[in-house]
Structure 1
Amino acid sequence: MLRFTRHRASFLYCGVAPIGLVLASLASPASAQDTQTATPPAADTSAQDTEEAPVQDIVVTGSILKTDTATPSPVTTITVENLDQRGISTTQDAIQSLSANNGPALTNSFSANGAFAGGASAVSLRGLSTNSTLVLFDGMRAAYYPLADDGTRNFVDLNTIPDDIIDQVQVVRDGASSTYGADAIAGVVNIITKRQFKGLTGRVEGGISERGDASQYRLSLTGGVGDIDEQGYNAYLSGFYYRSEQLFNRQRPYPYNSDDLRNVCNDGTCGPNNVIDGLDGDGNYPGFSANTTNLGSTLYVAPFDSAAGVAAGRYQMLNPGVGCPRGTAYDLSAGDLADNPLAPTTVCQEDLTQNYGVITPEIERFGFSGRVTAKVGDSSEAYGELNFLQTEVSYDGLPSTIRGNAPAPFYFPRYSTSSNIAYYGNNTILQLPVYVCPRETQGACTAANGTINPNNPYADQGQTAAVIGRLPNLTEHNESRTRAYRFAAGIKGDLSDRWSYNFNATAMHMDLRRKNTGYVYIQHLLDVVADGSYNFLDPSANSQDVLDYLAPTAQATSTSDLVQAEGTVTGDLFELPGGPLQFGAGVSVRYEAVDSPSINSDINGGTERYYRLNGFATKGHRTVYSAFAELNAPILDPVSVNLSGRYDRYSGGLDNFSPKVGVKFTPIQQVVLRGTYSRGFRVPSFGEADATFPTTGYVTASRGIYPDSYLAQYGCTSEPNDYNTNCPTYIRNASYGLTTLGNPDLKPEKSRSWTVGALIEPIPGVSFTADYYNIKKTGAISAPNFAPAIAAYYTGQPIPDGYTVIPDAADTGTPGALPRIAFVQAAFINANTIKSEGLDFSASVDLPITNGFRISSQAEASYILKLSTTFPDGTVERYDGTLGNFNLTAGSGTPKWRGYWLTTLDFDDFRLSGTVNYMGGYDLSAMDQGGAYKDCGLSDGSVPCRVDDYVTFDLTAQIPVTDKFTFYTTVLNVFDDLPPLDPVTYGAHLYNPVQGGTGILGRYIKAGAKFSF
């Protein structure tokens, strides 16, 4: 929070760090404030000169009142200088590094691993997800990202921040619905742009990893004229360009670059070999499964028994002359063949992660901003601001699939060998028919009107062929292009010597173009199979026209709009013993809309869609009318009370009142005690209430969801060694889809939160803060807990009401066993209670040592005491310190600790900063995946039950060559410490993308120059 002494502003640092870091910072003199920022060296602020400094009125995020004192709410502030000291290039990266950001944050790197809202970045304060943190621009709302996180959670994309005109970012770390309305449950991030800029400044920066990859570039230029106070106006223009290159798993060392985890071992237990058709830990071929081999890029065929719905003989390479397009051939031994009646004599061992895995996508951003600010009359000031940003994110995927999730149950047609007529049955193996006919042929294709299928080696015997594998000459590619247009204008001034007004308006439009190539269109696949136009024998011989027909470009444009106008009046009512009684009131109206059509709708039938593209769609709009007020009462000199409240009315009939009370007590000048209590709310998102097509999220099936009674059908148990050695890849490599259905009758989520804390300044330039927060959400919107339905299916019990469980295709190796789950479906409900409580700490020291030299040090940390969900049946799931909420976080979990410690040595002509980044470890368990709290239930034993803490060290040097030119260089992750191994998290391969962050890049070197005239 910004803390101000009575006559002179002195910024206090508020942050987060483990206790050891807080204590250690005492060894390094620095200045402090309840902000997360390092302040520039300033004149001495000792008591003898404070009476001469002018009073500075400010507006702090979370309040509509001007104040020259600290507010009861804890507020973190990030400045441009703080970013430079830490070597952080973008405001998006800075917000992601907040210690209070935890759990289901959405990072840019997750875009390359199947995120629903690919191409976007979002913050999740307190582990309460992206939809419970409100992001503002200059105190006004911004348009939602057009594609919701997981198809349900509306959020503001941090990539739309115009970095080079940012003055600071303020983060309110408690509930703020009483000021801003919906979504401000866990806190508020307010991005504040520069009021004015004079002169010309620019920046050139480049970076590359020590391994010679993951390069990035940044260019910016800002110019402005005029002085508001002296000339009555200021105008500036700013533009920037940023690019970072795609990084592949194969560019990182083992085991991050491979699916073969046999050398990842712990206490004698080693990981599985998930390479397609790879050998087990003993060098044996563990078993052939069409379900797993299907994932490779080699095509295999087998004669098909249409009556039984299974392969009738051994698979073989469709074209042995082509061999293994990617991977290594392995000739099965006689023993291997005897144990695997369907296995081909030669298989292709293909490592998908090595060949195709992507760590970070390619990102290209550019934009421009302009602002004009001018005095109006003697006491008013008006401004107008325009921003445009474009972000393109792209990444490569896997070879194109000819068998997979649509993402809805779809069964390939089965052919009668006597008539060659297709009919649909319970089978997902694609078949090559005996005869092929021109596409315009009506009726059945027979010997009378067709020709023998050249792709089917069994056609001469009148036998259809089951074909598995991926198409080696087609690769999936994903692109998103976001354009954000924003205009804001406002005027503020004095109504009298005691009252002032402020009016602001903003309009923002976003359009998101999603473009996907290389995804097979199901009906077109059936077409080219039926007419023989696709050459399966030699895929490289297919013309571009055939490939374009088989995998036409999927493209959709989604839009999001926001228009808001807000006016406030504030002033002093009368004097109290501690100062003036301040009052403020305002009204607001806003319109928001999202139109996100499906890129993969089944409106024309189950075959008129693509494999592997999610079909989610939503469309909705609403108008919100609001009135709010705030009262700040300094009852006594050491005690002040702040009261605020807001009423919101939605066009759909929903309404809510959000009150808040804050108390600040200053027993002595060096100590401030503070506390707040508030109520807030979150309205159902457009995806939750208005989804026109449901969303399906795919979850990797963990060992913990299978009971031993179920695994016994497959000849194994859940014991780690036995599971890794004897369970077929059909089980080990399983994933299932969680399909959630929209519900227009949902009610708003309600929240109550309270904080208590202390800010201590024992001497000028030294500050400590500690705050406790407690947040409770009731009526939380979610799908019902899927675990009971999953457990009921695998134990043979009736499926609970409200759920639908859809089985997958049976394992060809054990066709009589109960199939694994393909999909679980349920509708959103208001049901759950979510609780989050924890502690924030900070310490900051900034004291001069000698003339021309000072040392400053700041540390901050957040500790989550407990994060849990209580379901309607009383079941409680606890997530802190584990991978839970697994479904919500993509298995990235909720580490308890997060923090950093920044120390700067500041000389007259040189500045050296070192930053220790810390994120705690966690247990490989998740209660929403079955099992108990911290039971290590998701571990396969190949790594310890607890994933290690992750600590990295960054070093930045700034060298002012002249007064107008500064050279700087940064080494991130100086000791080249890659993230700790995590074989469970599915947002990245073998590490946690939130915990690992940019650490997976390894030692990374950036250099740049800043100039100003």
Structure 2
Amino acid sequence: MNNLHYRPLAVAVSLCVGLMSSVSVMAQETPRVATDLDRVEVTGSRIKRAEVEGHLPIQTLTRTEIERTGLTSIGEVLQQLTGSGSALNAKFNSSGNFGFPPDGSGVGAGSAQVDLRHLGAKRVLVLVDGIRWVNESSASGVGSATDLNTIPLAIVERIEVLEDGASSLYGSDAIAGVVNIITRRNFDGAQVTMNYGEYSKGDGTQKGIDLAWGTQGDRYSLFLGASYTKQDPVYARTREQSRFPVPGTGLTFGSGGIPQGRFRFIDPNTGAVQDLVPNNGASTPNYDGSAGCSRSDDYHCFTTADRFNFAEYNLLLTPSERKGVFGQFRFDITDNLQWYVKALSNRRESTNQAGPEPLFFGPDGATGNPLADNITISALNPFNPFGFDLVSSDNMQFIGRRPVEGGARVFEQEVNTSYFATGLVGDFEAADRSWFWDVNGMYSKNKAEQTNYGSYNIFNIATALGDPAVCASTPGCVPLNIFGGVGSITPEMLQWIQPVVRDRSQNELSLFTANLSSELFTLPAGPVAFATGYEYRKYEGSYQPDPLTVIGHYNGVPSLPTSGSYDVNEAYLELSIPIFAKSALGEKLDLSLAGRYSDYSTFGGEFTPKYGLRWQVTDDFVLRTSYAEGFRAPSIGELYGSAARADLQIFDPCSIGLGGDAPRGNAANCAALGVPTGFQSANSQISVTTGGNIELDPEHSRSFSAGFVWSPWFANNTEWSERFDVEVTFYRHTIEGAIQAINAQTQLDLCVDSLDPLYCNGITRANTGAISSFNNRLTNLGSIKTDGWDVDLFYTLPQTDIGQFKLGWQNTFVGRYEALGAAGQRQPQEPGVEVADSSIPEWTSNASVSWALDNWNASWTVRHISELTEQCGDASAFPICSDQVAGTNKLAATTFHDMQVGYKVDWMKGLQLSLGLNNVFDKDPPICLSCSLNGYDASTYDIPRGRFWYARADLRF
């Protein structure tokens, strides 16, 4: 065995010994009797044990705590944990130019995910009742993360979150942690829950109803649940912070694809470069000779004032409608054998919206579609006012026309999830000990369809702009007028060029598991317990874009079909070995050992071990530590995902900034790359080609944690304290060979700085200097390393005449986050930095106080995110950039306040009425200049002007 396995364990033992002296006095002065508990299985261990506080830190969210948030999505609840990172949610308007992420998973439009330790949602394993849940289906790729919107919140009893590596117990994907959603089971009677809420500006209405019914007998239990939730949209144009592409910069970062049409070409008659916009009837043309452009006719030279504000069409909060039904039945065949069956059906209908789709032509358009990049607009086109051919390979540089006549791009998703599971759970007595076993079978499928309205057929557009004789001989073709300004594209023209695009995808998971747990033999300190088991899984996934996309005629983000499957056989063993008990060194010391062997059909076998120590020094003080190795197998999308495109907000170092500032890149290097002096890119969005890689290896990880749980005797069951708990955990994760693409902005910057082919290969430029292609493929990167501390305190005061108060304070401090490329290139993510619509705050904190008196209850919650810094990019020329000299912007520390008050009416089995207000003081998120949409980081903060009130009624009978 590698010595690395022992080093973290040695550190943990040293920590335990170092703390021993400080607590041994307590052990002698305050003897207490430990409470015996029924044996339970907790997340992070397969062994049924008596101790609630095991070797690993587990955070449990009860149903009461979930309801206190006022949220209706499991994903949104989990994203408020202090250890959570950036993940998709309803605040991500994630379609349109977001394109396709390089992992082949699609944009995940309408989904809600969970990211732990900022390691990515695909590195978090989601379980339901201890069994894996199927990956999401976004209709635009083969997902590698779980969409928590496929699980109705109404069926949840509690959520257990393990923020530690657990591949030895659960297999692949459990690198950053495990989320185990426990469903409602033992329920007698009926329950109706209704809720309604909206933002203070009167939008974003949210309403829903949940139904629950259950019954129990001597040998059976039955639970049935149904849920309906509807979320209305919030439009970006209704919030000042989100009305423009980049706050505080006006139209500077607006699109060069404009409704009037922008035409940049070399006039073959004069050799002059023209950059023209129709006047649309304006009596005084706008002349500008700065780029050699001058006109005295019906056109003026393009200026910033002509740019298109696409932000007005975006959504701050995407609408969705979710309907789900769930049921589980359990029957005790004998006193020692139980059969269960569970089933779920869930349907999500959601919508994303983007600005009207632009038409970009010419080498500076850089769409990645040869039909657009190499187009020829015939001089014979009846609407061509220039009298000569516009040829991409000759005189045309850039044409941008946004057909607002065709409306906004609307992406409608329909996602259907089906789930069926059955199994047997039993126990028996043999060899003077109890044996616990279970066998389980499960099949689940996510199937999605996305319908896109408002996009265009670039093949038909090319035909309509070309030789009129060819158009006339093509059935349905109507010559297209992109030159006449707004309104020049008629309904007949739209009928020829504007299709309805439909994409489909699905993910399937078939699973069988068998587990056995008992005791092997007894040592002086107690019995040696074990758990062992076998698991078989088969993954199948496919993505089928619209036939128009497959043949390359779709004007939007191109992609090709993806499909694949693989299976895995696994076996694991877990041991709990008591070292001593009731000794001078403390109450109990246990060693935990676990190992899992996984055999994948795609790449072979992997063994992952885990070691842990749990030292109960006294009845009220526990030290614990663990070290684990893990891995994550490449997903179907990562392996087989075909070439696709994402339009990313990237600043070209060789271009004059859109704000007018000089190029940041070395002038000589830019010249060597073929960029002429005075070059200014037409758009801040650059098309980046992405795709899977069949040669990918699994990611490998190492996780270490150490900490303590302390419930001091002097603060429990006293006059001033009913209970006081402190939990402190240090964590460290290291991932080698992380599967991801190098940050595109980093790759471009390194190319310009070094001219190294390692970074420049795959980036090509047109003769104008504009980037014409950008290939950014998946690879096994060098490493990701992160560490930090969790510090949690909980305090329950005694019941008094004014009620009972409970306080909780949870904190996560990130000490390090370092991501390196395969060649050692530093990626921009680090603590205290905002980049690529995500952040890693150095400190996140949640504090809450709850109060209860008779039938009344209330709570107040404070959510804090520490200060962040971002690169201003081209926005550094504007005062909105807080440090224009350094080119960085500060996102100030932000605190949100939530409150809820409730009253229980003694009617039937109880009517609970609750009224809540989230973001009580209407705190705006800090302005983000580098974020892709809406001027803020949607994965970290509440929406601007985000005060949200809600009411809930919960009747049990």
**Which residue does the alignment assign to 1:258?**
244
Of residues 276, 291, 298, the one that matches 1:315 is: 276
What CA RMSD, in Å, does the superposition of the two structures yield over aligned residues?
3.5
- Pairing partner for 1:211 from 178, 201, 220: 201
Matches within 5 A, 1:473-512: 473-474=405-406, 475-496=408-429, 498-512=434-448
Tell me how far 1:303 sits from its aligned partner. Answer: 8.2
- CA separation in 2, counterparts of 1:573 and 1:768? 34
Query: What is the CA distance between 1:484 and its match in structure 2?
Result: 0.4
Q: How far 1:543 moved relative to its partner?
A: 6.3
5 Å matches for 1:614-625?
614-615=558-559, 617-625=561-569
The structure-2 alpha-carbon separation of the partners of 1:306 and 1:135, relative to structure 1 and needing over 3 Å to count, comes to farther
The offset of 1:745, in angstroms, is 2.1
Shift of 1:880: 2.3
Quote the Cα distance in structure 1 between the aligned partners of 2:759 and 2:330. 60
- Which of the numbers 235, 239, 242 marks the counterpart of 2:226? 239
Contact 1:967 1:1008 in 2 (8 A): yes
Choose from 975, 984, 998 the match for 2:921.
Answer: 975
Question: Structure 1 residues 432, 403: CA separation in 2 closer, same or farther (over 3 Å shift)?
Answer: same
Q: Does 1:995 align with 2:908?
A: no
Distance in structure 2 (CA, Å) of the matches to 1:952 and 1:559:
38
Contact 2:844 2:866 in 1 (8 A): yes
Q: Note closer, same or farther for the CA distance 1:960–1:790 as it changes in structure 2 (3 Å cut).
A: same
Are residue 391 (structure 1) and residue 348 (structure 2) matched? yes
Q: 1:676 aligns with which of 626, 632, 637?
A: 626
Q: Is residue 249 of structure 1 aligned with residue 181 of structure 2?
A: no
1:596-638 residue CA offsets vs partner (Å, 9 max, x unmatched): 123477653xxx3222324154211011101111111222222
In the alignment, which of 118, 121, 125 is matched to residue 134 of structure 1? 125
Measured against aligned partners, the alpha-carbon deviations of 1:118-172 in whole angstroms (never above 9, x if no partner) come to 12121111111111111111111121113499x6871111111121111111111
Quote the residue 2:91 is aligned against.
109
Matches within 5 A, 1:760-779: 760-762=710-712, 763-764=715-716, 765-779=723-737
* 8 Å CA contact 2:287, 2:301 repeated in 1: no
Please name the residue that 2:465 is paired with: 529
Alpha-carbon deviation of 1:793? 4.8
Equivalent residue letter for 2:244: S
Alignment of 1:341 with 2:297, yes or no, is no
Equivalent residue of 1:385, what SS? strand
The sequence identity of aligned pairs, in percent, is: 22
The answer (yes or no) to whether the contact 2:376–2:462 under 8 Å persists in 1 is: no
Superposed CA deviations along residues 865-922 of structure 1, whole A, max 9, x for unmatched, are 11112334344446223446x4xxx332322222211110111111110000111221
Q: 1:895 to 1:463 in 2, by over 3 A?
A: closer
1:471 match: 403
1:854 to 790, 804, 807: 804
Matches within 5 A, 1:575-654: 575-599=522-546, 604=551, 608-615=552-559, 617-637=561-581, 638-654=588-604
Q: Is the 8 A contact 2:403 2:489 kept in 1?
A: no
Q: Residue deviations 1:343-372, cap 9 Å, x none?
A: 717976465255313212111111111111
Which residue pairs with 1:903 in the alignment?
A: 849
C-alpha deviations, 1:92-114, integer Å up to 9, x for none?
21111121111x42222223465
Whole-angstrom CA distance in 2 between matches of 1:737 and 1:712 = 18
The reply to whether residue 547 of structure 1 matches residue 494 of structure 2 is: yes
Q: What does residue 913 of structure 1 align with?
A: 859
- The answer to whether the Cα contact below 8 Å between 1:148 and 1:154 also exists between their aligned partners in 2 is no
Q: Tell me the number of residue pairs that the alignment of Structure 1 and Structure 2 aligns.
A: 860
- Alpha-carbon contact 2:264-2:274 (below 8 Å) kept: yes
| 1:627 match: secondary structure | strand
Structure 1 range deviating more: 829-838 or 107-116: 107-116
Separation in 2 of the partners of 1:766 and 1:314? 70
Query: Residue in 2 aligned with 1:55?
Result: 37
SS of the aligned residue for 2:330 comes to strand
Partner residue of 1:352? Answer: 309
Change in CA separation of 1:663 and 1:305 when aligned onto 2, cut-off 3 Å: same
The correspondence for 2:173, drawn from 176, 179, 183, is 183
Shift of 1:331: 5.4
- Asked if the contact 1:834–1:870 (Cα under 8 Å) also holds between the matched residues in 2, the reply is yes
Contact 1:799 1:805 in 2 (8 A): no
Is 1:214–1:1001's contact at 8 Å kept on the other side of the alignment?
Answer: no
Match of 2:252 in 1: 274
Q: Kindly provide the amino acid, as one letter, of the partner of residue 258 in structure 1.
A: F
* Aligned match of 1:513: 449
Q: Aligned to 1:93, which of 76, 81, 89?
A: 76
Q: Deviation per CA, 1:846-882, whole angstroms, max 9, x where unpaired?
A: 1223157100011111111111123343444462234
What's the offset of the Cα at 1:733?
4.6
Q: CA deviation at 1:808?
A: 5.3
Alpha-carbon shift at residue 760 of structure 1 (Å) = 0.7
Equivalent AA in structure 1 for residue 144 of structure 2: N
Which shifted more, 482-491 or 391-400?
A: 391-400
> 3-state DSSP class of the match of 2:174?
coil
Whether the aligned pair in 1 keeps the contact of 2:751 and 2:759 (CA below 8 Å) is: no
- Find the counterpart in structure 2 of residue 950 from structure 1: 894
- Over residues 268-319 of structure 1, what are the superposed CA-to-partner deviations in whole Å (9 max), with x where a residue is unaligned? xxx464265xxxxxxxxxxxxxxx53x22223568874699x886563427x
For 1:353 and 1:303, the matched residues in 2 are separated by 24
Q: Which runs of 5+ in 2 are unaligned?
A: 1-29, 99-106, 472-477, 582-587, 666-676, 717-722, 875-879
Partner of 2:6: none
> Structure 2 counterpart of 1:92, which letter?
G
SS at match of 1:182: coil
Q: Which residue of 2 aligns with 1:298?
A: 260
Question: Do the aligned residues in 2 keep the contact of 1:387 with 1:485 (CA within 8 Å)?
Answer: yes
The alpha-carbon distance between structure 1 residues 734 and 854, as it changes in their structure 2 partners (threshold 3 A), is: same
Confirm or deny: 8 A CA contact 1:616 1:696 kept in the other structure.
no
- SS for the counterpart of 1:131 is helix
Q: Say if 1:332 and 1:717 are closer, same or farther in 2 by CA, change over 3 A.
A: farther
On the 8 A contact 2:922/2:946 being kept in 1, the answer is: yes
Using the alignment, how far apart are the partners of 1:394 and 1:615 within structure 2? 21
Amino acid in the other structure paired with 1:226: Q
Quote the Cα distance in structure 2 between the aligned partners of 1:1011 and 1:603: 52
Distance 2:169 2:60 in 1: 19
Distance 1:715 1:844 in 2: 52
Amino acid of the structure 1 residue aligned with 2:339:
A
User: How far apart are 1:833 and its partner, in Å?
Assistant: 1.3
| Structure 1 residues 827 and 214, CA gap change in structure 2 (3 angstroms) | closer
Cα separation, 2, equivalents of 1:600 and 1:801: 34
Which of the residues 648, 658, 672 maps onto 1:699?
648
CA distance change for structure 1 residues 717 and 626 in 2, over 3 Å: closer, same or farther? closer
408 and 433 in structure 1: CA distance in 2 versus 1, 3 angstrom threshold:
closer
Q: TM-score, with normalisation over the residues of structure 1?
A: 0.79
CA distance in 1, matches of 2:544, 2:389: 44
Give secondary structure in 2 for the equivalent of 1:790. helix
1:667-717 Cα shifts (integer Å, max 9, x gaps): 1222110000110001112122112x2233333124xx6269x87998825
* Structure 2 counterparts to residues 883-902 of structure 1, below 5 A: 883=833, 886=835, 890-902=836-848
| Matching of residues 155-194 of structure 1 within 5 Å | 155-194=145-184
Partner of 1:83: 66
Contact 1:403 1:611 survives alignment (8 Å): no
Of residues 483, 501, 519 in structure 2, which corresponds to 1:572? 519
Mark the runs of 5 or more structure 1 residues left unpaired by the alignment: 1-45, 265-270, 277-291, 324-329, 414-426, 437-452, 720-726, 811-818, 931-935
Kept after mapping to 1: 8 A contact 2:137/2:143: no
Tell whether 2:57 aligns with 1:74.
yes
